[in-house]
Structure 1
Amino acid sequence: MRKSVLFILLCMSGISAYAQQVLKGTVKDATTRQPVPGATVKVIGAKTGATTNEKGEFELNVPANAQLQITSIGFENVMVAASLIKTTPIFMKMKAISLTDAVVVGYGTQSKSSVTNSIASVKAGELTAEKNIVSDFGKALQGRVPGVYVASREGTPGNASGIMIRGAQSVSAVATNPLIVIDGLVVDGNTISINSINPQDIESVEVLKDAASAAIYGARGSTGVIIITTKKGKNNSKPSLNVNMYTGVNNVPFKRRMMNTAEYTSAFNDSRNNRIGDIDAILANPGATPPGRLKQLQDEKTVLQGQLAGLKMGDRSIDWLDRIKHKNAPVNNLQASMSGGGEKNSYYMSLGRYAEVASMGVGRFERYTGRLDVTQQVNHWLKINGNINLTQSVSKDMSNPLATAFAVRPDTPDELAYQYNGRMGYYAGLQNNPLGIMMDNNNKNKTNIYLGSLSADLQLLKELSFRSSFNATKYNGLNSSFLLPVGYLAYSTGGLYKMQGTDNFSYNFDNYFTYNKRFRKLGVNGTLGYTYYNNELNSFGYELNGFPQIDNVTGGAAAAGYGAASNIGSLHLNNKEISDAWFLRTGIDWDGKYMLNASLRRDGSSKLVKDNRYSWFPSVSAGWDLSREGFMAGQRAVSQLKVRASYGISGNMRPLGYFDARNLLKATSYMGGQALVLNTLIGNPNIRWERTKQMDAGVDIALFGNRVTLTADYYNKTTDGLMSNTDVSWIFGAGSMPDNIGSIRNYGADLQLTVNSRAGATIGWKVSTNMNINRNVILSMKDSTAPFGALVFGGPQSRSKVGQPVGSVMVFESQGVDPLTGDMTYTDRNKDGRWDANDYVSIPIALPKFTGGTAVSLSYKRFTLDALVTYVAGNKVYDYYEQTLRNYSLDYTSVMPNKFSNLADRWRKPGDVTDIPRAVTGVHGAGQTADWNSKPSTQFITDASYLRLRNVSLAYLLPVKVLQKAKLNQVRIYGSVENLLTITPYKGFDPEAVSNTGIVSTNLPNPRSAVIGIDLTF
């Protein structure tokens, strides 16, 4: 018996020895024939693997019938049978930019080589967490797509970026962002921001830039279209779990500081003494001044002398801009996803959490995301897909501390001054303590967003398919805020509680046929469909006064023991919009050389009255690939040389209000209690949506096996029917009426160059640079001279003027500081001895002339270094806070607000040469006004061009031997820094953090972020 057992064991060991073998091989570059060190060789279906040495050699125990997968950064993956490696090396081809990749277009896909429109693509590899320490997808596009200008205008955590494609084509601030389509779901950007989707769930992004590609979306496409395709599982793949996490800190690097106590005291005294000097000069010649005016001046002098005598400055000096910073504010991100699939099904699911603390103030932002996508191939002709995306965002205590920090005196104590109902942080009277404002005033914004879709794909014939999809969005937003009954903001209310809510439900139902057939050299394709869109928006709000502390507010009602709240105001609105459209797209190509495509869409919207409700949006495009011609045969350098041109018409309905085409009436009491019905909004039945006609001509070039690619476009587009409100007489019950007021032209060029190569056997590199040149000009206006009004209180006038770009401001032209008097001098353009609106000059500020970026990726063995540089040039900003802090009067708290420290370089005595006027309060200057030295003028307009090192990241890929012990497939460790360096002539906080009108107010600067992270794949 023992002999039998021993014999069986010997046989089994022989079988095992026969099943396993030691495999030795070499991996080489297919082009250079040089070794490829650091390549990973894995047995498919097993955890065993090896890494090639400096000579490209490896040694691995494998089963006799094993299949191997060889991977290396910068090369295409190779799969080969183990039996073929014994005698020949494994050759790896360098990754090239594929021209056969599918490009997602409206209601379908096209191969990249057959595209005749201006479409840019961004793949998932550019959206990874290590390359983008961002909370929203928009920031991940910065500097990566030519013609797409992304600006993070507010450094508040969770704030969505503004996106503009090929210039501003509307005078409406809400109408510049492009249409967002997520897996066929049309997202209303006015309610739902693009940060509602986790960037790590995105597979690819297509940007439709010309009208020919966007016309398929009709009245929604003129500002461009961004199509987001999310990640899905793959058929016949084992479950794969990926976990990506990083942690780090945010800090605000800015250059400005406020005056210290000594500088503040000097400015206060100078401003009063200079005014007293002006008064004394007038009193010295009393015969030239009316007696009543002399008495006023003497009284004013007495007041000023009292202010000088009453100024009691403490011995401390606090830089409040520094005190409101949250140094090393934490930022954390965790993303886990699992995907896989069988022969007829696939799935992808993910969970994510992003958390960020404000780098100025005490605000906090958290976002939780969940996604599930399931695809089932029911049979050979039916496939069903369903997905749902859940996002919850919570922002807390996001009060902006800048305005309060500007106002407080530098000697104001920064400790918590006294208690109020158990809370601390306010001073006696109406002055606010910035720390108290941040700590005590409670505000919270919570949103829940649900995105879902269900689709069915039917393969009716080999060349004919049908797709039906239902896509829905549900948005719930609730914003609450509470102000203690101290300080200026809520002193008179006895405690102020506000609540605002929004409920939005929208869906689009799409049904379309797709035909695709090839007749030898002739290819024919077409799409015919119908879409229906329904959007319903409900909003409410109320305001409650008389609550001494937040604990007494429960669901908007007064708690027992405090009585009923007083001065209750409420608001409720319900809006609904319905639109539908038929669309057709068709295309033909001959042997891949000549391509012709056309589309047509007929759109209708309930926002418009019957006569203007429907409109047509056509497009046509053509392309010619010269590289496929006979005269290009035999050459190897040119992989593609395609010229293309397109023309199309698209629309924009975003500026159009729900009732802009109709009058809104209300009953009111007027004159002796007589009930009357008046207009609250005067509608315009003739209003129609904005329409953009765009021509585009471009070339696509690929060289040396697609390792070098160049795309260049010239575009010219005109938008007419610009929507805005025009002034009408109040006799009609309202002071304005919506109207189509003019037209705008944008023209320019996009350029993108990408080089992908290797230097030797261990180094790979890729450089992609892009640039956009855009010029914007207003072609016509119904009234080319009437201003739209001040952009901010006391600031410059906004005016859309023919011949000028959108975003121009009307200000006085500064001639500098008079060295004799120390007051500002302005150009009297009409020479009438007065300075008024007739002397304004129009200065374009908001729109840049050049935008772009350069992305560099370097790989050495297992290390990868990535960097992204972005730039903006030719734009200016109006520094509103520089203007307001030039005023030396007392504010509502009877305190002179503090000033920026640069005002210490002001004019002090005759003969001083400086660009900063003297400190003075009261009327002064040639115009004898209290704001003469701080009038809206060109002195506050500065160049805001910048070059920014947007991101630098370094990653290391662990060797296979290390992973085998931990039973992991891949591990990447990385470190990343965002906003590392900015070069700019602008001396303010952040040249990017300005309003879309170019006004610098209390926009928080964007932080510098530094994180370390790990990416695990099981």
Structure 2
Amino acid sequence: MGKRVTMFIAMIFAVVGLANGQDITVKGVIKDQQNQTLPGASVLVKGTQSGTVTDVDGKYSIGVPNAQSVLVISFIGYGSQEITVGNQTQINVTLSADLKSLDEVIVIGYGTQKRGDVTTAIASVSTKDIEERPIIQAAQALQGKAAGVQVTQPSGKPGSALSIRVRGATSVQAGNEPLYVIDGVPTMDTRDLNVNDIESIQVLKDASSAAIYGARASNGVVIVTTKRGKANQSQVSFGAYYGFSNIAKKINVLNPQQYADLMNEMGNNVTVGSQTTDWNKEVFKKGHNQNYQLSFSGGTDKSKYFVSGAMTRDNGIIKPASYNRYSFRANLDNQIKSWFKLTTNFSYANAKIRDVKDNNNAGRNAVVLGALGAPPTMGIYTQDSIRGTIFSTNPLKAGWDNPLAAMYGPTQAAKDNRIFGNVVGDITLAKGLFVRSNFGIDYMNHSNDYYLDPYRTTEGWGSSGSTHGLGNATRSNSFTYLWENTLNYEKNWNKHNFSALAGTTVQKNTWNNSYIAGRDFPSDGIVKTMNAANEITDAYTEQSEWFLNSYLGRLMYNFDSRYLITANFRADGSSKLAKGNQWGFFPSVSAGWRISAEPFMQDVKFINDLKLRGGWGQNGNQEGLANYASYGLNTYTRRTPTVPPSGPAVTNPSYAPNPDLRWETTTQSNIGIDLSMLQGRVTVTADAYLKKTNDLLLNVPLPNTSGYTYMPRNSGKLENKGLEFVLSTVNFDKSAFQWTTDFNIAFNKNKITDLQLSKIYRYADVEGRSDQIIILQEGASLGTFYGYIAEGVNPETGDMIYKDVNGDGAFSPSDRTILGSAQPKFTYGMNNNLTYKSFSLSFLFQGSQGNKAFNASRLETEGMYDSKNQSTEVLRRWQKAGDITDIPRATDGNVNNSLISSRFVENASFLRLKSTTISYALKKEFANKIKLSRASIYVTAQNLLTFTKYKGFDPEVNAFTSSGATLGIDYGTYPVSRAFVAGINVQF
């Protein structure tokens, strides 16, 4: 049973069957040292792309061109063997166990490579536990699993994207997310990918591994390979799970009487009437998530298939937020001729997202802060003489709806239809010489509709007269095509191994968008489409496109897998830049030395493998550039028509055009070591790196006399440097009980090293405050908090005391200073897998240490400056002279006691039990009796425990995601939930 599970989960590629016209047929059986057959073992004709895999009984049959042909037999977890055919037609092979086989093939950019020959920093993430975790996005599979890959969940809202930083952020205004490559097609969004279709994930972390992707690789590259059919192994798989989620942490607020006491203290006349509401209870509900997956795979040596369909539903803990997705995939492999293979990857996804407003808002439509701040003395509904039953509003704050009005008042939903895939043709020109042509598409159709009926909320009514309903509609289409052509040459002689790759690629995107908004809808609220709007308040269409043309090359050489060297080069030309700066050139080189293969190491028996490697390279940042970044674009404003017509008013761009705009370029050096000891029971990987980003893109402010607000300019430098360690151990390995541990830890230091022209940049506005939370300046890191130092409450006045930083004896904005950083000192993860007979237990810990968070939500829940409810922390507020406390007095309309200060900067370090799973697999004998090849049931808990001193809902959230500088700010953000899931997986 274990070998069969290994085959289905861990095998990276199903190699292609040999086609017609071959002269010799070789058959045999592949077994292990215990004389057990190995189904799914790979049998490859060396120097070609022809091969097969063993069937369920470990048998294979393959055609070879001649007696000089060499068969390469391998199986994940076992050492490979190479056998010359000669005059043999029956070749049986016994493979020896090798827990961390150096012959395992992993995917790299535009090809594959044996793990033992890799000279760069590549993290391979096992996806074997995906089937037993409620993972919706591919990025979730990386959390806590790869050193130097920090995956955070800025918002717990269903369908919201995760944030990934590979060895730290490299940009401020350009993108910081890695490039994803799914089956050879680059993309920036994997939310529509069905996670259960994934076979393997590789993260290219350093420049020498990622440079083959050039202008898009400065933030790392995540290569995703989806599943494929296997010859002579027809299989039907079904998986399903259902679970529920709830809020992981509660923030207590004042009850009705406590709230009334506070308001009366502030000079408002509030009494506790018959209507009271626990808004936390009304807003935070139980969420539900479910998934159903069905796949079919199989085929022959010449034609293989993998077809899957899935339905995913995630209903959040704040209604009506939800994410529903239907997906379909078809992966086909066809050996048309002995020299020609055709591969097709096709996927379709339909996703519907219901939204609620959560981020960056303390006011009338903030759902999360509304749940904390809505007066508990207010009911949910009220009666209006004109509108009937409507959502009630804050009686002390005209026009402020209660949070349920923001949740249920509007009808709003986004729909995405996405087609993604490619067709790949592989032609063998001669022995060791291959041509590949790859044509891919990524088409997205997006729609978003919003409707607010005339009588439900104050937004539909308006503060100065009825809008009689509001509505808007957005429609957009994005189409990207990719065409790549590469030539690959491989030559092996004696102990020399050489390969060369050269190619060209073009990629083009066209995008168009239309928007229309209106008001004054019918009173019955039945027709919600824009044709029912009596007044169109806004309407426009827009379109843009970009084009990327690239040339790439790679040389790889190794001698006896002992001395290894790889060199990459890519040239990218982008339409986003002006002539003279459109081309970027990105070289890299890396080398490795397998020390354990040297004669002087032969007597060191406890070391199985020891390799030293180092690399250098340059990458660029294409995704962060706007389509017309170097050009100034005029805007058009409608005006009263003239006779004869004279067209709209033309407004010059707010920013100055810059024809000298260039790429951001990141140069990275890496040195690492790979060590395997005690027959593979202990493996260690360690890396040290230095990343320097030049030509940092910034919007440099310009004086008013220039006529422009700013100029996009290459105006700074940024540095990341760090250490990474990975330790994998086999702690216990007996027939009935196994225990393995994988631990990783990464240290990264981020710093702005140079800013030109403007030396200070400010980010992250807060409602009702004139300051920003984040500062960008030389010597500081991204995510640096800036404000006043709070030194406690004056026991005589009850006001907050702020430190006189500059020593001038007065309190002024010049007393602001650096308050901390959201950058962690280190991140870590630890995964344990324990198996006893048919039972398995796995648990994953994820942690971050040394990072701060700015709890902007506390500005509102402890500010006591208006009619919003407050947290129970304010029960300790100053009320009379002589009170000793850290909570200042209540005021009315005065925010001076809750300025942006160290008072709200908190320790956001955490240790989280990210997931834990208990599963049971039916014994093979029993499963076979009921016509199953495999069956298992499991129970999983996610985010079960979080150990942190942070006072907010969750230390990972971030309300501001538009800039690389704005990190670690919690401002009414949708909290991450705790989930419990039960599921089943069966295979026929």
Shorter-normalised TM-score: what interval?
0.7 to 0.9
TM alignment of 1:422-433, pairs within 5 A: 425-427=391-393, 430-433=399-402
Offset, 1:917: 0.7
The one of 795, 811, 821 aligned to 1:819: 795
Supply the distance in 2 between the matched residues of 1:536 and 1:727 (Cα, whole angstroms): 31
Residue 202 of structure 2 corresponds to: 206
Residue 322 of structure 1 corresponds to: 281
TM alignment of 1:127-146, pairs within 5 A: 128-130=130-132, 132-146=133-147
Aligned AA (1:897): K
Supply the distance in 1 between the matched residues of 2:901 and 2:725 (Cα, whole angstroms): 36
Residue 394 of structure 1 corresponds to: 352
Would you say 1:348 and 2:306 are equivalent positions?
yes
The one of 849, 860, 875 aligned to 1:904: 875
Aligned AA (1:812): Y
Return closer, same or farther for 1:676/1:645 CA change in 2, 3 Å cut-off: closer
Residue 929 of structure 2 corresponds to: 965
Supply the distance in 1 between the matched residues of 2:352 and 2:651 (Cα, whole angstroms): 42
Residue 908 of structure 2 corresponds to: 944
Offset, 1:732: 4.9
Cα RMSD, aligned residues only:
2.9
Residue 420 of structure 2 corresponds to: 451
Residue 517 of structure 2 corresponds to: 543
Would you say 1:238 and 2:233 are equivalent positions?
yes
SS in 1 for 2:778: coil
Would you say 1:96 and 2:96 are equivalent positions?
no
SS in 2 for 1:437: helix
Residue 832 of structure 1 corresponds to: 808
Residue 297 of structure 1 corresponds to: none
Deviations 1:848-903 (A, max 9, x none): 2211100000000111101000001111111112113344344xxxxx11111111
After the TM superposition, which of the residue ranges 490-499 and 818-827 deviates more from structure 2? Answer: 490-499
CA contact (8 A) 1:116 1:623 kept: yes
SS in 2 for 1:402: helix
The one of 492, 500, 515 aligned to 2:474: 500
Residue 585 of structure 2 corresponds to: 616
CA contact (8 A) 1:361 1:399 kept: no
Supply the distance in 1 between the matched residues of 2:277 and 2:131 (Cα, whole angstroms): 38
Percent of residue pairs identical: 32
Offset, 1:641: 0.4
SS in 1 for 2:814: helix
Q: TM-score normalized by structure 2?
A: 0.86
CA contact (8 A) 2:303 2:333 kept: yes
Deviations 1:4-49 (A, max 9, x none): xxxxxxxxxxxxxxxxxxxxxxxx997xx9xxxxx9x89999xxxx
Return closer, same or farther for 1:966/1:668 CA change in 2, 3 Å cut-off: closer
TM alignment of 1:11-30, pairs within 5 A: none
CA contact (8 A) 2:862 2:873 kept: no
Deviations 1:335-377 (A, max 9, x none): 1111101121110010001111111223222111100011100
Residue 971 of structure 2 corresponds to: 1001
Residue 921 of structure 1 corresponds to: 892
Offset, 1:488: 3.9
Aligned AA (2:335): Q
Residue 451 of structure 2 corresponds to: 482
Offset, 1:381: 0.8
Would you say 1:247 and 2:205 are equivalent positions?
no
Return closer, same or farther for 1:669/1:202 CA change in 2, 3 Å cut-off: closer
Deviations 1:384-412 (A, max 9, x none): 00111111111125344213323321121
CA contact (8 A) 1:409 1:897 kept: yes
Aligned AA (1:900): S
SS in 2 for 1:816: strand
CA contact (8 A) 2:510 2:543 kept: yes
Return closer, same or farther for 1:346/1:92 CA change in 2, 3 Å cut-off: closer
Would you say 1:407 and 2:382 are equivalent positions?
no
Aligned AA (2:115): K
Residue 44 of structure 2 corresponds to: none
After the TM superposition, which of the residue ranges 360-369 and 945-954 deviates more from structure 2? Answer: 360-369
Return closer, same or farther for 1:821/1:704 CA change in 2, 3 Å cut-off: same
Supply the distance in 2 between the matched residues of 1:670 and 1:383 (Cα, whole angstroms): 60
Return closer, same or farther for 1:481/1:669 CA change in 2, 3 Å cut-off: closer
Q: TM-score normalized by structure 1?
A: 0.83
Return closer, same or farther for 1:241/1:29 CA change in 2, 3 Å cut-off: closer
CA contact (8 A) 1:271 1:919 kept: yes
Residue 842 of structure 1 corresponds to: 818
Would you say 1:1010 and 2:986 are equivalent positions?
no
Supply the distance in 1 between the matched residues of 2:77 and 2:601 (Cα, whole angstroms): 28
Aligned AA (1:1008): R
CA contact (8 A) 2:77 2:101 kept: no
Supply the distance in 1 between the matched residues of 2:94 and 2:875 (Cα, whole angstroms): 69
Supply the distance in 1 between the matched residues of 2:974 and 2:370 (Cα, whole angstroms): 13
Return closer, same or farther for 1:91/1:531 CA change in 2, 3 Å cut-off: closer
Supply the distance in 2 between the matched residues of 1:654 and 1:68 (Cα, whole angstroms): 47
SS in 1 for 2:658: coil
SS in 1 for 2:974: coil
SS in 1 for 2:265: helix
CA contact (8 A) 1:424 1:440 kept: no
Deviations 1:700-723 (A, max 9, x none): 001122222111000001001111
Would you say 1:866 and 2:837 are equivalent positions?
no
Would you say 1:111 and 2:114 are equivalent positions?
yes
Residue 977 of structure 1 corresponds to: 941
SS in 1 for 2:211: helix
Deviations 1:223-265 (A, max 9, x none): 1000101111112x23200001011111112131111112212
Would you say 1:512 and 2:512 are equivalent positions?
no
Residue 986 of structure 1 corresponds to: 950
Supply the distance in 1 between the matched residues of 2:774 and 2:150 (Cα, whole angstroms): 22
Return closer, same or farther for 1:958/1:666 CA change in 2, 3 Å cut-off: closer
Gaps in structure 1 of 5+ consecutive residues: 1-27, 34-38, 46-65, 79-89, 273-306, 559-563, 891-895, 923-929
Q: How many residues get paired?
A: 887
Would you say 1:568 and 2:569 are equivalent positions?
no
Residue 176 of structure 1 corresponds to: 176
Deviations 1:910-946 (A, max 9, x none): 2222211111225xxxxxxx22101111101101110
Supply the distance in 1 between the matched residues of 2:675 and 2:823 (Cα, whole angstroms): 30
Supply the distance in 1 between the matched residues of 2:37 and 2:389 (Cα, whole angstroms): 63
Aligned AA (2:824): P
Gaps in structure 2 of 5+ consecutive residues: 1-30, 41-55, 60-75, 81-92, 359-366
Aligned AA (1:345): S
Aligned AA (1:129): E
Aligned AA (2:303): N
Supply the distance in 2 between the matched residues of 1:421 and 1:239 (Cα, whole angstroms): 63
CA contact (8 A) 1:666 1:680 kept: no
Q: Which has the higher helix share?
A: 1
TM alignment of 1:215-230, pairs within 5 A: 215-230=211-226
Supply the distance in 1 between the matched residues of 2:759 and 2:638 (Cα, whole angstroms): 37
Deviations 1:813-850 (A, max 9, x none): 11111122211011122233443332111234322221
Q: Select the structure of larger CA radius of gyration.
A: 1
Would you say 1:600 and 2:569 are equivalent positions?
yes
Supply the distance in 2 between the matched residues of 1:483 and 1:323 (Cα, whole angstroms): 21
Residue 673 of structure 2 corresponds to: 699
Offset, 1:623: 0.6
Residue 463 of structure 1 corresponds to: 432
Supply the distance in 2 between the matched residues of 1:742 and 1:620 (Cα, whole angstroms): 26
SS in 2 for 1:882: helix
